[in-house]
Amino acid sequence: MNVNIEINGKELQAENGKMLIEVTDELGITVPRFCYHKNLSVSANCRMCLVEVEKAPKPMPACATPVTEGMKVFTHSPKALAAQKAVMEFLLINHPLDCPVCDQGGECDLQDFSIGYGEGKSQYVEAKRVIKDKDYGPLVATEMTRCIHCTRCVRFGQEIAGIREIGATGRGENMEIGTYIEKSIDSELSGNIIDICPVGALTSKPFRFHARAWEMQKHNGVAVHDCTGSNVEFHTLRGEIQRIIARENQDINDSWISDRDRYSYLGLNNEDRIFKPMIKKSGNWETVDWEEALNFTAEVIKNGVGTIGPDSLATLVSPNATLEEFYLAQKVTRGLGSHNIDHRLQQVDFRAQESDPLYPGLKMSVKQISEQNAILLIGSNIRKEQPIIAHQVRQATIINNAKISLVNTQHYEMNFNVSAEFADDANILNNLLALAKVLVQKDKIDVDKAFSKLISSAKVTDNHEQTIAELKTDEDSLVIVGNTAQTMSNYSQIKIIASFIATNTNSQLAILTHGGNSASAYIAGAVPHRGPCNQVEENGLTAQEMFNKDLTTYIIQNIEIEKDLIGGDSEEVINHLTKANTILISSFVTDKMKEYATIILPAAIYTESSGTYINVSGTHQSMNAITEAKADSKPVWKIWRVLGNLLNINNMDYMSSEEVKDEVLDILGDKDMQSSINWMDFELDQVSNRAEYKVKPLGIYAVDSIVRRADALQRTADGQQ
Amino acid sequence: MAEENLKIASLNDKVKAEIDTWVAKYPEGKQSSAVMFALKLAQDQNGGWLTTELMDAVADYLSMDKIAVYEVASFYSMYEHKPVGKHKICVCTNISCMVCGSAKIVKHLEEKLSIKMGETTEDKNITLKEVECLGACVNAPMLQIGENYYENLTPEKIDEILDGLK
pLDDT in tens, A156-175: 999 999 989 999 999 888 99
Average pLDDT over residues A115-127: 89
**DSSP structure string for A282-342:** TTEEEE--HHHHHHHHHHHHHHHHHHT-GGGEEEEE-TTS-HHHHHHHHHHHHHTT---EE
**Among all residues of chain A, which has the CA nearest to that of B53?**
A181
Q: Testing the interface with B: which of A154, A179, A181, A415 to mutate, by most B Cβ within 10 A? A: A181
Chain B residues 28-87 with a CB less than 8 Å from chain A: 52, 65-68, 70-71, 74-75
Say yes or no: B66 and B103 in one domain: no
Contact flag A169-B75 (C-beta cutoff 8 Å): yes
Q: What residues of chain B lie within 8 A of the CB of A163, using their CB? A: 65
Q: Is the ipTM of this complex over 0.95?
A: no
Determine the residue type at A343.
H
For residue A233, being part of any structural domain is answered with yes
> A576, A547 in Cβ contact below 8 A?
yes
* Residue of A159, A169, A176 best to disrupt the B interface, most CBs of B under 10 A: A169
Q: Which CATH number belongs to the domain containing residue A345 in this structure?
A: 3.40.50.740
User: Does A301 lie in the same domain as A209?
Assistant: no
Which domain CATH number covers A42?
Answer: 3.10.20.740
Whether A336 shows a pLDDT value over 50: the answer reads yes
A164 touches chain B (CB under 8 A): yes
Domain-ending residue, one of B35, B55, B75: B75
Kindly state whether residues B65 and B91 are assigned to the same domain: no
State whether B112 and B153 are in the same domain.
Answer: yes
Residue A678 belongs to a domain: no
**Do the domain assignments include residue B80?**
no
Of A167, A170, A171, the CB nearest to B67: A167
Contacts of A417 in chain B (CB under 8 A): none
Peptide bond into B141 cis (omega under 30): yes
Q: Which of A225, A248, A218 is nearest to A713 (CA)?
A: A225
Q: Quick one: what percent of chain A has pLDDT higher than 70?
A: 97
A428/A507 same-domain check: yes
What distance in Å separates residue B48's CA from the closest CA in chain A?
19
Q: Is residue A610, in this structure, part of any structural domain at all?
A: yes
Range of the domain at A649: 278-350+517-668
Considering its fold, how many domains does chain A have in total?
4
The one-character DSSP state at A427 is -
Q: Could B68 and A179 be called an inter-chain contact, meaning their C-beta atoms sit closer than 8 Å? A: no
Contact A170 B65 (CB under 8 A): no
Could you tell me if B64 and B93 lie in one domain?
no
Number of domain units in chain B: 2
Q: What is the pLDDT of residue A352?
A: 83
Q: Do A506 and A575 sit in the same domain of this protein?
A: no
**What one-character DSSP code corresponds to residue A187?**
-
Residue of B26, B37, B129 lying closest to B84 (CA atoms)? B129
A91 close to A33: Cβ distance less than 8 angstroms: no
How far apart are the C-alpha atoms of A330 and A664, rounded to whole Å?
A: 12
Contact A593, A275 (CB under 8 A): no
B18 C-beta neighbours (distance < 10 Å), count = 19
Mean pLDDT of A395-404: 95
Assess if residue A327 is contained within a domain.
yes
- This prediction has a pTM of 0.91
Mean pLDDT, residues B109-132: 93
Among B26, B54, B75, the domain-final residue is B75
Is residue B7 in a domain?
Answer: yes
CB atoms closer than 10 angstroms to residue A529: 17
Counted across chains A and B, CB pairs separated by less than 8 A come out at 30
The reported pLDDT for the residue numbered A1 is: 85
CB contact under 8 A, A180 and B65: no
The answer to whether the CB atoms of B67 and A166 lie below 8 A apart is yes
pLDDT at residue A254 in the model: 93
**A521-524 contacts: CB < 8 A, separation 24 or more?**
A521/A317, A521/A319, A521/A321, A521/A326, A521/A343, A521/A344, A521/A359, A522/A356, A522/A358, A522/A359, A522/A360, A523/A323, A523/A358, A523/A359, A523/A614, A523/A664, A523/A668, A524/A323, A524/A324, A524/A326, A524/A327, A524/A330, A524/A664
CA distances from A15 to A5, A39, A187 (A): 10, 18, 36
Q: Does A534 share its domain with A507?
A: no
Residue A441 falls inside a structural domain: yes
Chain B contact for A301 (CB, 8 A cutoff): no
- Contact: B67, A180; criterion CB under 8 Å: yes
Q: Report helix, strand or coil for B124.
A: coil
Boundary (domain end) residue, out of B75, B97, B121: B75
Whether A362 is in a domain gets the answer no
**Same domain flag for A285 and A377:** no
**pLDDT tens per residue, range A406-452:** 999 889 999 999 999 999 877 788 899 999 999 999 988 888 887 88
Amino acid at A585: I
- The verdict on A472 and A574 lying in the same domain is no
Cα separation of A360 and A237, whole Å? 38
pLDDT for res A557: 97
CATH number for the domain including A413? Answer: 3.40.228.10
Quote the pLDDT of residue B2.
Answer: 43
Both A212 and A287 in a single domain? no
Kindly report the nearest CA distance between residue A626 and chain B, in angstroms.
Answer: 41
Distance from CA of A413 to the nearest CA of B (A): 15
Residues B69 and B10 reside in one and the same domain: yes
The whole domain housing B60 covers 3-75
In chain A, the percentage of residues whose pLDDT exceeds 90 is 82
The CA angle B95-B101-B103, to the nearest 5 degrees, is 85
Of A165, A170, A171, which is closest to B67 when you measure between CB atoms? A165
CATH number at residue B18: 1.10.10
Q: What is the CATH number of the domain that holds B151?
A: 3.40.30.10
Name the burial class of residue A8, with classes exposed (0-12), middle (13-18) and buried (19+) by CB atoms within 10 angstroms of its CB.
middle
State how far the Cα of B120 lies from the Cα of B132, in Å rounded to an integer.
19
User: How far is residue A270's CA from residue A605's CA, in Å, rounded to a whole number?
Assistant: 11
Alpha carbon distance B131, B92 (integer Å): 5
